[in-house]
Structure 1
Amino acid sequence: MLTTQRRALISARLSRDGEIVAKRLADELDLSEDTIRRDLREMAAEGLLKRVHGGALPLVPPLPDFAARQAIAGDVKRRLGRKAASMIEAGQTIFLDGGTSNAEVARALPRQTRLTVVTHSPTIAAELERHEAEVILIGGRLYKHSMVATGAAALAAIAGIRVDLFFLGVTAIHPAHGASTGDYEEAAVKRAILKQAADIYVLATSEKFGAVSPHRVADISDLSGFIVPEEIGDEMLAPYQNTNITIITA
């Protein structure tokens, strides 16, 4: 098999499976593992994939900063935010993760609804200034890319809170690799909140499906459901149709 053919196959497998295991692919193609590893190294050097121990993962492009992300898919995120807000009942305690989609949840909440909103995002807390909701702001080291608190102080505060509903923000969703994000500390905080939540939903725009980010947050089985745009393709949701995941369209 020519080098160009192998590389085309590697790219196709990454898109389909979300990973390449060098030994498995070498055995399948009856090639040496060194040959596959060399292909992966060269493709990684060209920015075509991300090398990991034993194989490779798709390359997830870096996200724009928080201010820039606010302008991306604004109408879609507003729809998702309104749908999520409609799921919240008076008297509940909810946790709003950071991110522009969850900011839309805060904006969509009726101002008179009495509930408790916990967040580690100062930008989301500010959205609730004129609401009747009680707001608990978790502190810690500010991760400016996502405008959320991280670190030991945040983890300690989260451990003392139990929430009915957690709207989780992630950068990637994959049927095999779960929900993931790009920052190590932020992922640790998200995992801590997961342990304290009765139900966990992700507001997910289409580009997040089939992608993998470096730091795992949760298995798909840990989640309660996705809130997705109504125009999302059936093929993106097919891997989740026969699971316990609830898929809500907006």
Structure 2
Amino acid sequence: MLTSQRKQLILEKLEAEGQVLSGALSIQFDVSEDTIRRDLRELATEGRLQRVHGGALPASSATAPFSERKSLKIEAKKSVAQRGAQLISSGQVVIIDGGTTTSELITFLPRHLAITVITHSPGIALGLVDHPSIEVILIGGRLYKHSIVTVGAAAIEGINTVHADLFFMGVTGIHPEAGLTTGDYEEACIKRAFSGRAAETIVLASPEKINTASSFVIGDVSLVNTVVVENGTDADWINAVSEKGVSVIMTADHDNESR
């Protein structure tokens, strides 16, 4: 079998099963584990998968530059963002992470909603400038241009002065075993710090983030209290996440409650 054929079969197996193990692939293709590891390494370099200990997981497409991610799964992002906005109550202090899905979240905040928003995203802050009832606190620091958010020691210092009701965390991958991941080390540190300052952490999980992984771990799935997903999300994934103590809300839930 040609290397290219074996790689394609690995990708097909990964798509079908959500995970591949080096040892099992070695037996399946009758090649050494070194050969499989080389295949996985080359596929990871191409951005086709995320290597983890013992094998690989699907790579998240949510690690692309902000300008490219804006148009990725846009309807799904709007759907989970709209449902997420319904979880916010007047009078709360709400941390909103940077990201394309959270950028959609703020467009669904009612004009009468009186809250305080804390963010390290200049884009989120600017998006709320004309909102009449929302107070905005912008966390400073070094601007990480890829995601257009502030990071570093100054950002951590600002975060440590906060006690919030909710934190809407942006992730690039959420996987029952690999946990919550993102594409940058400093961003992962910031997200952990924000989560530690909020009574409840919420993830708006559009489809490209589900069952995928990126290079840097924010924490275990159990770090999150609630995940908002589209109706029809894979039941096995929902069960696996629920077993970690996470509440899963589907976008159709509110519609069903309204009926």
Number of aligned pairs? 249
Tell whether the 8 Å contact from 2:73 to 2:208 is kept in structure 1 after alignment.
Answer: no
Change (3 A) 1:177 1:13: farther
Q: Does 1:85 align with 2:94?
A: no
8 Å Cα contact 1:165/1:198 also seen in 2: yes
Deviation of 1:176 (Å): 0.2
Q: 1:44 to 1:214 in 2, by over 3 A?
A: closer
Deviations 1:13-41 (A, max 9, x none): 64435453x46866999975445434444
Measured in 2, the distance between the counterparts of 1:220 and 1:170 equals 11
* Secondary structure, aligned partner of 2:212: coil
CA contact (8 A) 1:82 1:108 kept: yes
Counterpart-to-counterpart distance in 1, 2:186 and 2:34? 34
1:113 aligns with 2:101: no
Q: Superposition pairs for residues 134-213 of structure 1, below 5 Å?
A: 134-213=135-214
Name 1:126's counterpart in structure 2: 126
CA contact (8 A) 2:50 2:215 kept: no
Give 1:187 shift. Answer: 1.1
TM-score normalised per structure 2: 0.81
Q: Is the 8 A contact 2:76 2:230 kept in 1?
A: yes
TM-score by length of 1: 0.84
Q: Distance in 2 between matches of 1:56 and 1:234?
A: 22
Q: 1:76 Cα deviation (Å)? A: 2.7
Aligned to 1:71: 71
* Whole-Å separation in 2 of the counterparts to 1:202 and 1:209: 11
How has the CA–CA distance of structure 1 residues 26 and 51 changed in structure 2, closer, same or farther, with 3 Å as cutoff? same
Query: Letter of the aligned partner of 2:90 in structure 1?
Result: A
Percent of pairs identical after alignment? 44
Identify the range of structure 1 (53-62 vs 109-118) with the bigger mean alpha-carbon deviation: 53-62
Deviations 1:21-80 (A, max 9, x none): x46866999975445434444555666545566654444447443233333333332232
SS of the residue corresponding to residue 245 of structure 2 reads coil
What code does the residue aligned with 1:101 have? T
What CA distance in whole angstroms lies between the structure 2 residues aligned with 1:94 and 1:61?
27
SS at match of 1:179: strand
| Contiguous gaps of at least 5 residues in structure 1 | none
In angstroms, what is the RMSD of aligned CA positions?
Answer: 3.0
**8 A contact 1:187–1:216 mirrored in 2:** yes
Aligned residue number for residue 104 of structure 1: 104
